[in-house]
Amino acid sequence: MNSLFSPINRDLSGLHVLVTAGPTHEAIDPVRYIGNHSTGKMGYAVADVLAERGATVTLVSGPTNLTAQHHAITVIRVRSAAEMYEACLDYFPTASITVLAAAVADYTPKVVANRKIKKQETAFMLELVRTVDIAASLGQQKSDDQFMVGFALETDNELANAQAKLVSKNLDLIVLNSLRDEGAAFGHDTNQITILHRDGGIHRFGLKAKREVARDIVDEIIVALNTAHLN
């Protein structure tokens, strides 16, 4: 099925969009870190489609091997959840749309060793502390004329958990992934999503290439923005 809007339609011209993508790496010592399997492919695809549609995009990217292709995308590279949060604070105030696609670590080591930790004891205890919830923090700061999109990767009670995040983080739209869907989520060139709107709308999509998924997400954002303007 074709995208709802033509890819050459520059209906986001004049808007600044903030996108986050990729994982974060939480340092344990100079050579080790806590991370996840995110490649950043979904966030980079969304950034590219937004730029195609006319937006000026700031892409805050965790560690990836990807390169943004569109000239309207400025990439801010970060490593940790704290660095990603600080970058978001810098660019969020001027963003009309924010898409939080990064897989940000929920916990980070309380103490980071300044030298490589040598193997000694049979057991090794690592104390972790919570990172800042970027979506929740930005959601508290969001003004009425800003639009926020979050992502939820779930394994159980997917819809209920995504709906709870949509409300608790003050999002306008949330993109749900399930790890139980074959060919979806981390590491794949394809994805399968369900999009939940703040007004209660739920739209399910089949398995597609991530580029096509990005177009679906951007289409849903534009539909929601147009609906809000009409109300």
Cite the active site residues.
Answer: 36
Question: Is residue 213 left, alpha or beta, with left meaning phi > 0 and alpha meaning psi from -120 to 50?
Answer: alpha
Please name every residue paired with 27 in a beta bridge, in sequence order, or none if there are none: 33
Distance CA 14, CA 148 (A): 17
Helices and strands in the chain: count of H runs, count of E runs:
5, 14
Cβ neighbours, 10 Å, residue 174: 26
Distance CA 19, CA 41 (A): 12
